[in-house]
């Protein structure tokens, strides 16, 4: 069964994190919507890579997703945080106990600002992890607490994307996706 995933992007999003999540989830068979929180569909990511979203975030507010996951990068994570539509979509996701997550700067900057990490164990980029409400597992590369998954940076993004695949489709699918990518 096809799972639907929302990956929002902004000017200043970390392009490796965004693209690794989109690509790996699509390899698993997910229907991934890349949504811009900017006025334009085209954004300029943190290291100048120009990405074109599939849709504007405003077109995604009526849809229900199996997973909503935010890339990091600065100021991208702040621009995601400041998007009212994305905040509402992600809060709705949490309220209905569906999967959501973020990597790098985004757990602290976006999810935590929205109150979505309270009482949750999480991680983030080392430069942001002291801002999390529960820092007991920040050294782990991928942290899951119930329906929230968080991770640390570009170097953990592939493991993180595979952990998201495992949550949506199971361990066997995650291993099938990892194989041809030459992970180890």
For its own copies, which residue of 26, 40, 64, 88 counts as binding (CB under 8 A)? 26
Question: Nearest approach, Cβ of 72 to Cu ion (angstroms)?
Answer: 4
Distances, alpha carbon 103 to alpha carbons 6, 72, 135, in Å: 14, 5, 15
**Is 125 annotated in the active site?**
yes
Distances, alpha carbon 8 to alpha carbons 3, 22, 51, 97, 115, in Å: 16, 10, 11, 20, 18
String marking each residue 89-128 x if it binds its own copies according to CB under 8 A: ------------------------------------xxx-
Q: What stretch of H or E contains 93?
A: helix 84-95
Question: Nearest approach, Cβ of 47 to its own copies (angstroms)?
Answer: 4
Residue 54 is classified by DSSP as S
- Region from 26-34, 63-71, 85-93, 113-121 binding its own copies, contact rule CB under 8 A: 26-34
Q: Which of residues 97-116 bind Cu ion (CB under 5 A)?
A: 104
How many Å apart are CA 7 and CA 49, to the nearest integer?
A: 16
Question: Nearest approach, Cβ of 80 to Cu ion (angstroms)?
Answer: 13
For the annotated catalytic residues, the residue numbers are 104, 125
């Amino acid at each position: 069964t096809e799972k639907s995933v929302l990956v929002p992007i902004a000017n200043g999003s970390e392009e490796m994190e965004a693209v690794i999540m989109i690509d790996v989830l699509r390899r698993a068979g997910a229907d991934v919507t890349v949504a811009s929180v900017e006025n334009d569909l085209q954004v300029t990511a943190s290291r100048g890579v120009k990405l074109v979203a599939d849709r504007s975030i405003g077109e995604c507010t009526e849809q229900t997703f199996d997973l909503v996951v935010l890339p990091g990068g600065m100021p991208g994570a702040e621009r995601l945080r400041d998007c009212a539509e994305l905040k509402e979509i992600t809060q709705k996701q949490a309220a209905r106990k569906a999967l959501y997550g973020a990597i790098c700067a985004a757990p602290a900057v976006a999810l935590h600002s929205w109150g979505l990490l309270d009482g949750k164990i999480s991680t983030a980029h080392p430069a942001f992890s002291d801002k999390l409400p529960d820092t007991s597992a920040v050294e782990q590369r991928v942290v899951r607490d119930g329906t929230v998954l968080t991770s640390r940076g570009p170097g953990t993004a592939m493991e993180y994307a595979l952990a998201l695949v495992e949550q949506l489709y199971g361990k066997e699918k995650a291993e099938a996706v990892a194989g041809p990518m030459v992970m180890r």
